[in-house]
Structure 1
Amino acid sequence: MTSVSVGREFDLLLVSSWDKSVRLYDATANILRSQFLHSGPVLDCCFHDDSSGFSASSDNTVRRLVFNSNKEDILGTHDAPVRCLDYSYAAGQLVTGSWDKTIKCWDPRGASGQHHTLVGTYPQPERVYSLSLVGHRLVVATAGRHVNVYDLRNMSQPEQRRESSLKYQTRCVRCYPNGTGYALSSVEGRVAMEFFDLSEPSQAKKYAFKCHRKSEAGRDIVYPVNAMAFHPIYGTFATGGCDGYVNVWDGSNKKRLYQYSKYPSSIAALSFSRDGRLLAVASSYTFEDGPKPHEQDAIYVRSVNEIEVKPKPKVYANPPV
């Protein structure tokens, strides 16, 4: 699997895969509702609404998927595989990022094969690895540790051009639900917490921490952090790594809240439902050690207990009076 997305109705689950398919599940009934076949591995997917979604494929296409009719049409193309996408409800646009070193914005409303829906094409410094949206703000993470921050209402140039504070390749970027910043994860078992506000007090709050590591025979074994997902209610977040673990973090208080039991394989993708009650976990070997026998890929949908995701109150040595 490459991506999982939980719909606005929490029983819908959209899954993209290296097997060239996108599947729509009814997670509550545990049944497959629709399946769409592409001509190449599908690297990302997201919902438009409860009746349609979008997919990003290594065949260079961006597709719109209509669930009830099981139909799809090509919304547009890039010049290289399309790595990631997300839909902005604030702007009514789909944003796609590609290894052709561009992001593109699309207006999918009323689109068909005969209509041009491309809003704009925006060059990036390197191949796009991950992107994330919150409100009108877009964060794009590329190869070479570049990070561009945009306002979707004025895409003529980035609001901010940054360099990742992590030393190694970026795997995932996700915006905070409250719109104040974003988290970056890397192949070297670290996560960085960043803030949009460039003032000195805000920048003093940023930090990075180690995760998805273990010590063995005196050596530190480090695993890529492939996936992150923020809880929509509490603003805490889950990380998934090639060690097969999912951890939940309280970023504000710099603490790990919970670690789920180990999954059979690497964690490739994570997604919370909109009400925060469910977490979809894609356990899928990501070939970090090359071709080898591995466990069968699987999607796990788990109920989330409040104790796992709710920040714990601060404990004061001398309570204020």
Structure 2
Amino acid sequence: MSYFTNSSGSASTGSATTSSSLGDISADITLSSPPEDSISDLEFSTKSDLLAVASWDKRVRIYDVSQTGANSGKAIYAHEGPVLSVAWSIDGDKLVSGGTDNAARLWDVATGQSTQVAAHDDPIRSVRWFTPPGANAQMVVTGSWDKTIKYWDLRQQQPVCLVKLPERVYTMDVSRDLLVVGTAEKHLQIINLKNPETVFESRISPLKWQTRVVACFPDASGFAVGGIEGRCAFVYLDPKNTKLDFSFKCHRTARTRGAGADVYGVNAISFHPVHGTFSTAGADGTFHYWDKDSRSRTKGFPPVGGIISATGFNRNGSIFAYAVSYDWSKGHQHNTPTYPNKIMLHRVGDEEAKRKVTSKY
């Protein structure tokens, strides 16, 4: 059983409440025509039933996924290297992707065409959209292993500005005016997009080991961090709410012989668009739904037969997509031809993802 801790790492007043039984994945649907190599990222549009998937096979694929899980391929376009990140525009009309070819490309839903819109000196690890305060045009922010982020107005060829960071970008997320960037050496860069050229605050991750993923709270009041040590942390930005900061263990398996547990990296954190609960998924091949406000797990699920590398809810939270794919954490030698490489679609029951009504403590 996972347990929650406060930000200092000491045990909280109680253990996490967990669901009494595992969820059912036997009826999960396999997405047709998956990528030919490892799946690095996926994201549903918030305005339609389109699902974008980034892959190490140098392609971005867009699928039509209905509310029932019925699915079909809609479009495909190429990068010149493995694709690491995808993000839908806020209005759902465009998709941006970034990859190891040091480029970001834009795909237009209406025309079906893709064009290069951004460039870095090294691979682009993460891409996101945001709308500057007072502006009527969306912009793209790209984070790279060249230790910079760049902001792009897609009506011009050069970046609007560049922000230097202490290390390589590993992960990045945006919610409203909040941008959080996780880099190598556990640095967390917090940026208020009302003043995007300046890092508002620099922090060291509350986790002990390397950052794998950050995810902003939907209300932009804070963010979640997942690391390689099978632990997540929740960080609130308002100093008045720092007492709400906490961390919890997850994606750990008790050893059958001897004491202790095998620890796995947390590869993905996704927030439910309706209930505000969230999922975690990891290298142990499991995913779980949690309620951060009651500090409890709403539902756990059995192993899916391989590492889960990426996850996402559709626009109304009725479908949860998870990629069963190698995550490259142990180098190329472990990416064998027999390793599973697929995307599964799980129908989300309300009882799985709804918030708990019990007390936090």
Instruction: Determine if the TM-score, normalized by the shorter chain, exceeds 0.5.
Output: yes
Is 1:36–1:70's contact at 8 Å kept on the other side of the alignment? Answer: no
Quick one: distance in 2 between partners of 1:223 and 1:70?
A: 39
- Which structure is higher in RCO with an 8 Å CA cutoff and minimum separation 6? 2
What's the CA shift string for 1:70-118, capped at 9, x where partnerless? 321110200100000111146521111000000111112xx3xxx4252
| Structure 1, 91-100 or 308-317: larger mean CA deviation | 308-317
Quick one: distance in 1 between partners of 2:179 and 2:60?
A: 25
- TM-score, with normalisation over the residues of structure 2? 0.82
Is 2:161–2:197's contact at 8 Å kept on the other side of the alignment? Answer: no
Matches within 5 A, 1:202-241: 202-216=241-255, 217-218=257-258, 219-241=260-282
The alignment partner of 1:118 has SS state of: coil
The alignment partner of 1:204 has SS state of: helix
| Structure 1, 237-246 or 256-265: larger mean CA deviation | 256-265
Match of 1:2 among 40, 43, 67: 40
Q: Corresponding residue for 1:301? A: 345
The alignment partner of 1:144 has SS state of: helix
Query: How far did 1:315 drift?
Result: 5.8
Identity of aligned residues (%): 35
Gap change, CA 1:8 and 1:90, over 3 Å in 2? farther
Q: Corresponding residue for 1:252? A: 293
Match of 1:101 among 137, 141, 147: 147
Q: Could you tell me which amino acid in structure 2 is paired with residue 23 of structure 1?
A: R
Q: Corresponding residue for 1:82? A: 124
Gap change, CA 1:232 and 1:283, over 3 Å in 2? same
1:64 aligns with 2:106: yes
Quick one: distance in 2 between partners of 1:215 and 1:96?
A: 39
Structure 1 unaligned regions, length at least 5: none
Is 2:294–2:360's contact at 8 Å kept on the other side of the alignment? Answer: no
The alignment partner of 1:155 has SS state of: coil
Structure 2 unaligned regions, length at least 5: 1-38
Query: How far did 1:316 drift?
Result: 10
Quick one: distance in 2 between partners of 1:22 and 1:169?
A: 27
The alignment partner of 2:244 has SS state of: coil
Q: Corresponding residue for 1:271? A: 312
1:187 aligns with 2:252: no
Quick one: distance in 2 between partners of 1:72 and 1:58?
A: 17
Q: Could you tell me which amino acid in structure 2 is paired with residue 55 of structure 1?
A: S
> Cα RMSD between the aligned structures?
1.8
Is 1:34–1:67's contact at 8 Å kept on the other side of the alignment? Answer: no
The alignment partner of 2:351 has SS state of: helix
Is 1:90–1:135's contact at 8 Å kept on the other side of the alignment? Answer: no
Q: Could you tell me which amino acid in structure 2 is paired with residue 75 of structure 1?
A: V
- TM-score, with normalisation over the residues of structure 1? 0.92
Is 1:258–1:308's contact at 8 Å kept on the other side of the alignment? Answer: yes
* Number of equivalenced pairs: 310
Query: How far did 1:287 drift?
Result: 3.2
Quick one: distance in 1 between partners of 2:302 and 2:65?
A: 21
